[in-house]
């Protein structure tokens, strides 16, 4: 794939910054009353609650103007895991600043998404959550079909028929320009 597109590094610059991951709880600054060790402890407690490890059949798909790996069909277990993460880790999130809110373009959101943004710091939670593993940044419409086709063919060679979502990771981003670093991963107890 890289050889086929001379600007591949540019096309994948945004997702490379964050690493190959799926977001269950949107990134947030820690609340002043919390610290990283308390958040780690909360992650350990969270994974100790028995729950089914969601299994998905991954497919490559266009999501708006970018391309991602997504489940081939909705997963109630995955939606519940994301909901549980949003709620469990909310006490650690610092209040949203006006700049953070503006960055989410609230005028482009539905009423429900604006309410979720204000309540949870991110508009795409609960019924608006879509599990995805981002492969590209925003792509011009005329380039999307060729890139999507190449990624689908490349992904098919991996022969990945099932993907278990069996752990969560706690990541840190020291500032908005830096890459994510994984602090710790936590295996879900099933």
pLDDT digit string (tens) for 45-94? 999 999 988 999 999 999 999 999 999 999 999 999 999 999 999 999 99
pLDDT at 177: 85
d(CA 121, CA 115): 9
Which pTM was predicted? 0.91
pLDDT digit string (tens) for 125-174? 999 999 999 999 999 999 999 999 999 999 998 878 899 999 999 999 98
**End-to-end Cα distance, the chain:** 37
pLDDT at 2: 73
**How many other β-carbons are positioned within 10 Å of the β-carbon of residue 144?**
17
Region for residue 64 given its phi and psi (left: phi exceeds 0; alpha: psi -120 to 50; beta: otherwise) = left
d(CA 17, CA 116): 26
Q: Name beta bridge partners: 37.
A: none
CATH topology of domain 8-187: Cyclic Phosphodiesterase; Chain: A, (3.90.1140)
């Amino acid at each position: 794939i890289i050889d086929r597109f001379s600007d591949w590094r540019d096309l994948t610059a945004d997702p490379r910054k964050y690493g190959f991951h799926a977001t269950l709880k949107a990134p947030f600054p820690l609340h002043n009353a919390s610290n990283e060790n308390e958040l780690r402890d909360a992650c350990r407690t969270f994974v100790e609650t028995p729950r089914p490890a969601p299994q998905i059949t991954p497919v490559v798909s266009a999501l708006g103007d970018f391309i991602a790996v997504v489940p081939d069909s909705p997963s109630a277990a995955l939606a519940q895991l994301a909901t549980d993460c949003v709620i469990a880790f909310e006490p650690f999130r610092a209040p949203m600043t006006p700049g953070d809110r503006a960055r989410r373009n609230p005028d482009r959101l539905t009423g429900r998404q604006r309410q979720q943004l204000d309540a949870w710091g991110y508009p795409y939670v609960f019924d608006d959550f879509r599990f995805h593993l981002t492969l590209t940044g925003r792509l011009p419409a005329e380039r999307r079909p060729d890139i999507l086709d190449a990624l689908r063919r490349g992904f098919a060679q991996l022969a990945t028929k099932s993907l278990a979502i069996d752990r969560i990771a706690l990541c840190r981003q020291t500032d908005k320009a830096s890459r994510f670093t994984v602090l710790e991963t936590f295996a879900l107890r099933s």
